[in-house]
Structure 1
Amino acid sequence: MEEWSVERGALRTPRAAGLAGVAFALLLAAAIVLVRLGIPQGADAMTAQGFTDSTRRNAVRTALALVPFAGIFFLWFIGAVRAHVGAVEDKFLATVFLGSGLVFTATLFGAAAAAGAVLAVTHPSGTAPGLVSWDFGRHLAYLLLTEYAMRMAAVFVCSLSVMGRRLGVLPRPLTVLGFLTALTLLVTASNVPWAELVFPAWSLVLSGYILAVSGRAR
């Protein structure tokens, strides 16, 4: 049974944060991979004919089913981390941390909705969607994911790393990893395919550390 304690007016829930973070990381990584496979970029994206493949459509459908649960676990992760940080947190960083997390969730859902729109314009008979509809939905989905969601993820990672370092709850290597992750998401996420997987990878490492520390404390 999860142990809950009060310290300096804060509710400590490190194990809940770790478990939520692991679930979020795995679900988000799976959704990104499936969307990348189902809605290609590059030469394969110049035509909508490939999207008539049932394998691609099923990959997108599965990704769309995973995204809401990834968002739920991410919100749980944010709440548990904020409870763990407690009343000693820096108010400015806390606002940036919370705001970037919420905007990331909103843009992630928007990207999923755009991917769903691409799926919806595929005719039941299996014929290809119109080229205009295909290009619009595909570009909108990737624009929301790589340009906006990942930039907000970078702000989230950076603010959490700074808070964790100032409060002494994150070791220096994990802080450095957070800054490198934020820099990667800011600079390369919109230009390098699959670079967005850096965020769930960082979330998995952070969650594993929280679980390890929680286990030693218990």
Structure 2
Amino acid sequence: MQQNGQPVLETPRAAGLAGVVFALLLAAAIVLVRLGIPEGVDAVTAQGFTDSGRRDAVRTALALIPFAGIFFLWFLGVMRAHIGEGEDKFLATVFLGSGLVFTATLFGAAAAAGAVLSIGHPPGTAPELSSWDFGRHLAYSLLTEFAMRMAAVFACSMSVIGHRLGVLPRPLTILGFLTALALVVLASNVPWAELVFPAWSLALSVYILRESGRARPRTAANA
């Protein structure tokens, strides 16, 4: 469909809703993991992990991440069904592959964080320092160095597709490229930088919802 000579992104509201839920769940999970399994000075010793608040934060994050992955796959599938066929096979493959690998590595990071939680038993005692360091580094490596790099590829490919098909506004396309750059450069070195990805996902999903809301009255009027 075109509006004033410009293509409009036509996707079901389900895509936008799934993206919003994914963005909120992922952001909440990242914040909870960061608070429950700290880096830097707070992570030198595992004694702080005996705090029930930190353990509860990690448990809550682990409960949220599977649902975040489900909603992301729903978002990915709907977006690919509506714009993937209009793009060349290379970009469509990169778009799909990066999304799937991101989900897999996100689940891997969650599993590693769960291992950190389990080695703290019995409750009230600190895990061995070697086990603590291994589990913590594995969880953050999977999240910041692998999952976020795949998220960068996903954001970049989505922005390229949106630009080439003319279905995304220029500011949102530029924001996608900046998000990809930030995730590649900053995610593994700057704490909390991974929140850039759910923020971009939320902006994209809100745009989809807004355009879907505008398209419905036009469709009803044309009918």
Structure 1 length-normalised TM:
0.93
- Match in the other structure for 1:136: 134
SS of the aligned residue for 1:124 comes to coil
Give 1:118 shift: 0.2
Query: Could you tell me how far apart the structure 2 residues matched to 1:163 and 1:90 are?
Result: 9
**For 1:1-150, what aligned pairs fall within 5 Å after superposition?**
13-150=11-148
Structure 2 length-normalised TM:
0.91
**Which digits, 9 at most, give the CA deviation of each residue in 1:5-31, with x for residues without a partner?**
xxxxxxx64311101000000000000
Moved more, 13-22 or 48-57: 13-22
Query: Could you tell me how far apart the structure 1 residues matched to 2:72 and 2:148 are?
Result: 14
Give 1:76 shift: 0.2
Q: Which runs of 5+ in 2 are unaligned?
A: 1-9, 217-223
**Which digits, 9 at most, give the CA deviation of each residue in 1:147-195, with x for residues without a partner?**
0000000000000000011111101000000000000000000000000
Query: Could you tell me how far apart the structure 1 residues matched to 2:151 and 2:19 are?
Result: 14
Give 1:86 shift: 4.8
Give 1:91 shift: 1.1
Q: Are 1:28 and 1:70, in contact at CA under 8 Å, matched by a contact in 2? A: yes
Q: Are 1:34 and 1:63, in contact at CA under 8 Å, matched by a contact in 2? A: yes
Query: Could you tell me how far apart the structure 1 residues matched to 2:89 and 2:161 are?
Result: 10
**Which digits, 9 at most, give the CA deviation of each residue in 1:73-126, with x for residues without a partner?**
000000010112153222110000000000000000000000000000012241
Query: Could you tell me how far apart the structure 2 residues matched to 1:116 and 1:86 are?
Result: 35
Q: Are 1:90 and 1:163, in contact at CA under 8 Å, matched by a contact in 2? A: no
Change (3 A) 1:136 1:86: closer
Query: Could you tell me how far apart the structure 2 residues matched to 1:97 and 1:80 are?
Result: 12
Query: Could you tell me how far apart the structure 2 residues matched to 1:88 and 1:70 are?
Result: 27
Query: Could you tell me how far apart the structure 2 residues matched to 1:106 and 1:91 are?
Result: 22
Q: Are 1:38 and 1:60, in contact at CA under 8 Å, matched by a contact in 2? A: yes
**Which digits, 9 at most, give the CA deviation of each residue in 1:182-218, with x for residues without a partner?**
0000000000000000000000000000000000000
User: Which residue, out of 174, 199, 202, partners 2:200?
Assistant: 202
SS of the aligned residue for 1:147 comes to helix
Q: Which runs of 5+ in 1 are unaligned?
A: 1-11
**For 1:180-199, what aligned pairs fall within 5 Å after superposition?**
180-199=178-197
Query: Could you tell me how far apart the structure 2 residues matched to 1:13 and 1:205 are?
Result: 15
- Match in the other structure for 1:160: 158
Query: Could you tell me how far apart the structure 2 residues matched to 1:125 and 1:168 are?
Result: 55
Output the amino acid matched with 2:125: T
Moved more, 117-126 or 33-42: 117-126
Moved more, 199-208 or 78-87: 78-87
- Match in the other structure for 1:178: 176
- Match in the other structure for 1:6: none
Off by >2 Å, runs of 4+ in structure 1: none
